[in-house]
């Protein structure tokens, strides 16, 4: 009978020790998550631009800076003048 009580006590100590460690771990994860959210809230949101490929050299440039000729985009006036390069 005393052995059963001994093993029950050992089991209870292990269980409650594991539970206490798990609760600390959950609290730590919550703190880390809160800190991450606070950092992300402080950052400005940067929206990307639409990039297009130069029909002559293949360089990608922002659409607002590109020169358009019909359906083709060019990175500079010289490439626009030379026209699209055959691939």
61-73 pLDDT, tens digit each: 999 999 998 899 9
Q: For the chain, which residues make up each domain, given as ranges?
A: 1-46, 51-82
Q: Which residue did the predictor score with more confidence, 54 or 42?
A: 54
- To 5 degrees, how large is the angle CA 80–CA 75–CA 85? 55
pTM equals 0.46
- Sequence-distant (≥ 6) Cβ neighbours of residue 64 within 8 angstroms: 49
CB 51 within 8 A of CB 75: no
- Predicted local confidence at residue 16, as pLDDT: 96
């Amino acid at each position: 009978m005393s052995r059963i009580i001994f093993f029950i006590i050992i089991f209870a100590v292990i269980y409650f020790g594991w539970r206490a460690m798990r609760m600390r771990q959950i609290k730590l994860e919550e703190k880390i998550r809160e800190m991450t959210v606070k950092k992300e809230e402080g950052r400005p949101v940067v929206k990307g631009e639409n990039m297009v490929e130069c029909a002559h050299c293949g360089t990608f440039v922002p659409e607002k800076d590109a020169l358009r000729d019909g359906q083709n985009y060019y990175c500079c006036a010289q490439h626009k003048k030379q026209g699209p390069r055959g691939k």
